[in-house]
């Protein structure tokens, strides 16, 4: 079995790895590259393989940096089955239809200007029709049951505890076993179960997003969140929270439900400003069988606890724009999680200049994104062609991450047996180097960093 690294090598987006196994070509993930406009142009470049010759695709989870180019793969000739955990398949439908409609409307807007200027018109990366064609190829699978993705190539999905449906992928072929971690969640994440143990491997491809960081204990972070909401209420401003539509948004609602009374959550107006957030909540409600025991207990006490009485899920543009009239007392959760697109940019435009506003970062901010600039403390940003001086208070709440920290990653690898050689993917180089060093120290394993285009043998 061989692995060719096709994406997320030295960066945290664009996840994609090509397996040559049992005489077949199996692709693991086909993610979108995310960052600034220039970085994202790389998405349109040719794949480092012939899409029509891929026999099957296996998806680790539904985040767009792992599935965002699946419709493009189909548009470019892929005709095989797509395997994903059942909840991932449900979430992928929402994510890809949304990604396609954003791509279509962005291009339509640019094309109106280009037409006036007599410039050639642009094509979207893919259309909603391409997304639907891709989704029709989906073959949902439960956790923990082996299935064949091509003759002689067997796969099993193990709960990765990162988002609903997230999986570490075990692959058996040619008498060898490969484990691809996907994104690994921290233990103790609400709603989700802890990552399942993966028993043994001949080679491990492992994420390393927070390979050089330790998160604050979750309990401390949750307490801090309560204090931030209280401070925000007292300062009279809004709280703006960039969050991916899947994962952190639901965790935030979970903590607000859990602490509804002691945090005084009832006095805020809460907006989940996302056309797809309501649909994502439905997927959560449909897959309660994947919840951990605490979440099952909360759901048993109160049906649909994430649908807080003062929560408004805003779908239309008009509803979203109406939030602009609120200068205080609102908690606004919107995507994209790294502020490189989506409705969050409108809320930042409204609130960044206000001294009494608070911006809460609860997820990873990749290099080159607006979120990263804000976390790094820039004084001015450009939004919609307008320079905005940043006066709002910025807070990074690291302990709510959907990714395991260095200790969690070391622990996860130990649970695979702690002996297999490791290739670190999906992390910036500083994080990968730090994690590699710690893995070598603790387990004496051979640990290397993937590079784009490199092929390794399992
Ligand atoms: Zn992810």
pLDDT score recorded for residue 233: 96
Could you tell me the distance, in angstroms and rounded to a whole number, from the CA of residue 402 to the centre of ligand 1? 7
Could you tell me the distance, in angstroms and rounded to a whole number, from the CA of residue 63 to the centre of ligand 1? 5
Domain ranges of the chain: 2-213+402-457, 218-400
Q: Is the pLDDT of residue 398 over 80?
A: no
pLDDT score recorded for residue 303: 81
Could you tell me the distance, in angstroms and rounded to a whole number, from the CA of residue 237 to the centre of ligand 1? 31
Could you tell me the distance, in angstroms and rounded to a whole number, from the CA of residue 355 to the centre of ligand 1? 33
Could you tell me the distance, in angstroms and rounded to a whole number, from the CA of residue 61 to the centre of ligand 1? 7
Q: Is the pLDDT of residue 149 over 90?
A: yes
Q: Is the pLDDT of residue 278 over 90?
A: no
Token pair for 109: 């807007």
Q: Does domain 218-400 have CATH number 3.20.20.70?
A: no
Each residue's pLDDT tens digit, 15-37: 999 999 989 999 999 999 987 78
Q: Mark the residues whose beta carbon lies below 5 A from ion ligand 1.
A: 63, 183
CA 15/CA 12 separation, integer angstroms:
7
The percent of residues above 90 in pLDDT, for the chain, comes to: 83
Q: Using 50, 70 and 90 to split pLDDT, how confident is the model at 49?
A: very high
Q: What is the mean pLDDT of residues 261-273?
A: 96
Q: What is the mean pLDDT of residues 149-161?
A: 97
pLDDT score recorded for residue 240: 98
Between residues 127 and 9, which one has the greater pLDDT?
A: 127
Q: Is the pLDDT of residue 453 over 90?
A: no
Could you tell me the distance, in angstroms and rounded to a whole number, from the CA of residue 106 to the centre of ligand 1? 24
Each residue's pLDDT tens digit, 209-234: 999 999 988 899 999 999 999 999 99
Between residues 74 and 305, which one has the greater pLDDT?
A: 74
Could you tell me the distance, in angstroms and rounded to a whole number, from the CA of residue 162 to the centre of ligand 1? 7
Could you tell me the distance, in angstroms and rounded to a whole number, from the CA of residue 231 to the centre of ligand 1? 30
Could you tell me the distance, in angstroms and rounded to a whole number, from the CA of residue 432 to the centre of ligand 1? 17
Could you tell me the distance, in angstroms and rounded to a whole number, from the CA of residue 7 to the centre of ligand 1? 14
Could you tell me the distance, in angstroms and rounded to a whole number, from the CA of residue 65 to the centre of ligand 1? 7
Could you tell me the distance, in angstroms and rounded to a whole number, from the CA of residue 113 to the centre of ligand 1? 35
CA 333/CA 322 separation, integer angstroms:
14
pLDDT score recorded for residue 299: 87
Between residues 399 and 208, which one has the greater pLDDT?
A: 208
Q: Is the pLDDT of residue 115 over 80?
A: yes
Could you tell me the distance, in angstroms and rounded to a whole number, from the CA of residue 305 to the centre of ligand 1? 24
Could you tell me the distance, in angstroms and rounded to a whole number, from the CA of residue 13 to the centre of ligand 1? 9
Could you tell me the distance, in angstroms and rounded to a whole number, from the CA of residue 207 to the centre of ligand 1? 10
Contacts of 250 (CB under 8 A, 6+ apart): 164, 191, 280, 281, 284, 306
Could you tell me the distance, in angstroms and rounded to a whole number, from the CA of residue 256 to the centre of ligand 1? 23
**Most confidently predicted of 49-58, 116-125, 330-339, 391-400:** 49-58
Q: Using 50, 70 and 90 to split pLDDT, how confident is the model at 340?
A: confident
Q: What is the mean pLDDT of residues 382-397?
A: 95
Could you tell me the distance, in angstroms and rounded to a whole number, from the CA of residue 176 to the centre of ligand 1? 26
pLDDT score recorded for residue 12: 81
Could you tell me the distance, in angstroms and rounded to a whole number, from the CA of residue 393 to the centre of ligand 1? 27
Could you tell me the distance, in angstroms and rounded to a whole number, from the CA of residue 406 to the centre of ligand 1? 16
Whether residue 52 contacts residue 184, with contact meaning beta carbons closer than 8 Å, is answered with no
pLDDT score recorded for residue 318: 95
- What is the pTM assigned to this prediction? 0.90
Q: Using 50, 70 and 90 to split pLDDT, how confident is the model at 260?
A: very high
Could you tell me the distance, in angstroms and rounded to a whole number, from the CA of residue 183 to the centre of ligand 1? 5
Could you tell me the distance, in angstroms and rounded to a whole number, from the CA of residue 127 to the centre of ligand 1? 23
Between residues 157 and 247, which one has the greater pLDDT?
A: 157
Q: What is the mean pLDDT of residues 96-116?
A: 92
CB atoms near residue 297 (< 10 Å): 10
Could you tell me the distance, in angstroms and rounded to a whole number, from the CA of residue 412 to the centre of ligand 1? 16
Whether residue 427 contacts residue 206, with contact meaning beta carbons closer than 8 Å, is answered with no
pLDDT score recorded for residue 376: 96
Q: Is the pLDDT of residue 451 over 80?
A: yes
Whether residue 358 contacts residue 240, with contact meaning beta carbons closer than 8 Å, is answered with yes
Each residue's pLDDT tens digit, 283-325: 999 999 999 999 998 888 888 899 999 999 999 999 999 999 9
User: What is the average pLDDT value for the chain, to the nearest integer?
Assistant: 94
Could you tell me the distance, in angstroms and rounded to a whole number, from the CA of residue 185 to the centre of ligand 1? 9
CATH class of 2-213+402-457: alpha beta
Could you tell me the distance, in angstroms and rounded to a whole number, from the CA of residue 90 to the centre of ligand 1? 16
pLDDT score recorded for residue 34: 86
pLDDT score recorded for residue 342: 87
């Amino acid at each position: 079995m061989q692995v060719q690294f096709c994406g997320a090598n030295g960066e945290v987006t664009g996840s994609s790895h090509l397996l040559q196994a049992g005489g077949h070509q199996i692709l693991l993930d086909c993610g979108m590259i995310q960052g600034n406009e220039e970085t994202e142009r790389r998405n349109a470049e040719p794949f480092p393989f012939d899409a029509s010759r891929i026999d099957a695709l296996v998806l680790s989870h539904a985040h767009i940096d792992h599935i965002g180019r699946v419709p493009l793969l189909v548009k470019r000739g892929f005709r095989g089955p797509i395997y994903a955990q059942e909840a991932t398949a449900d979430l992928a439908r929402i994510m890809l239809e949304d990604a396609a409609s954003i791509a279509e409307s962005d291009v339509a807007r640019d094309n109106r200007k280009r037409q006036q200027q007599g410039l050639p018109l642009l094509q979207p990366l893919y259309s909603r029709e391409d997304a639907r064609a891709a989704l029709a190829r989906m073959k949902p699978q439960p956790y923990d049951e082996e299935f064949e993705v091509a003759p002689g190539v067997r796969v099993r999905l193990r709960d990765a505890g990162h988002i609903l449906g997230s999986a570490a992928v075990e692959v058996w072929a040619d008498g060898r076993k490969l484990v691809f971690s996907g994104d690994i969640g921290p233990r103790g994440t609400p709603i989700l179960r802890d990552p399942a143990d993966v028993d043994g491997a001949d080679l491990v491809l492992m994420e390393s997003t927070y390979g050089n960081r330790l998160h604050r204990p979750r309990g401390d972070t949750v307490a801090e969140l309560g204090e931030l909401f209280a401070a925000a209420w007292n300062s009279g401003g809004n709280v703006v929270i960039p969050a991916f539509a899947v994962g952190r948004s639901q965790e935030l609602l979970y903590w607000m439900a859990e602490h509804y009374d002691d945090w005084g959550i009832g006095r805020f107006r809460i907006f989940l400003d996302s056309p797809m957030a309501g649909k994502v909540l439905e997927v959560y409600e449909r897959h309660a069988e994947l919840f951990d025991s605490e979440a099952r207990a909360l759901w048993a006490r109160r049906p649909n606890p994430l649908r807080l009485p003062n929560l408004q899920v805003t779908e239309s543009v008009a509803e979203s724009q109406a939030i602009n009239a609120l200068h205080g007392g609102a908690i606004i959760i919107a995507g994209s999680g790294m502020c490189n697109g989506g409705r969050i940019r409108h809320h930042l435009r409204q609130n960044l200049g206000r001294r009494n506003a608070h911006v809460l970062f609860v997820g990873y901010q990749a290099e080159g994104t607006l979120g990263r600039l804000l976390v790094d403390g820039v004084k001015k940003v450009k939004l919609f062609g307008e320079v905005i001086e940043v006066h709002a208070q910025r807070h990074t709440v690291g302990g709510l991450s959907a990714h395991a920290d260095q200790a969690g990653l070391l622990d996860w690898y130990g649970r695979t047996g702690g002996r297999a050689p490791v290739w670190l993917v999906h992390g910036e180089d500083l994080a990968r180097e730090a994690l590699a060093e710690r893995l070598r120290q603790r387990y004496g394993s051979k640990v290397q960093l993937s590079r784009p285009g490199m092929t390794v043998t399992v």
